[in-house]
A = this chain, B = another copy of it.
Amino acid sequence: MNNLTSRSTAAGQGCRAAAADRLRHFGVSVTRPRVAIMEYLMEHHVHPTVEQVYSALSPEYPSLSRTTVYNTMKMLAEHGAVTLLTIDDRNLNIDENTTPHAHLYCTRCHRIHDLPLQGVSPLQASYAFTLDGHLIQQVHQYYKGVCRECQTDLNKEPLLTNKQ
């Protein structure tokens, strides 16, 4: 509604204010690497690896270290700002979309796509509950297969890169 507000938090390249707001919202203190990382996550709606975040930010922030990206991810996960996905056995993927949803892991391109949850309501999956005496804190649901894009690509040429 308000032009000033919307301008300062609009999406697009270089939206520090929104990233800082989001950090504060999750109760973590605002620092330069954290803003850079959060900004990246908010602008790129993929499910990046630590390496991808690091190498994307590295050019404009050469002193950033991989350790910081790891530490920040772990901390953001503890504060509920991101979810860490252990679907790909080669490395961690970061999901900044914390509303409950399922994933498709493509064994060809190794990308992760979002899908709706099946059988569990997103609302139920948002809160801890008890099942069979166990305390359930997170619900993870994913499929392994070949994504739509790769199925059509299959007829064209083999995928060369092992990394996405």
Contacts and interface: CB of A to CB of B under 8 A. Distances in A.
B86 A88 contact: yes
Q: Could you say which of A87, A104, A145 has the most chain B C-beta atoms within 10 Å of its C-beta?
A: A145
Contacts of A137: 107, 143-146
Contacts of A84: 89
A147 B137 CA distance: 11
B120 A147 contact: no
Interface stretch (A1-9, A15-23, A32-40, A111-119): A111-119
A135 interface: yes
A79 to B, nearest CB: 16
Interface in A37-84: 84
A55 B52 CA distance: 36
Nearest to A102: B141
A146 B119 contact: no
Counting from the closest, the 7 A-B pairs by CB-CB distance are: A119-B119, A133-B148, A138-B144, A137-B145, A136-B145, A135-B146, A86-B89
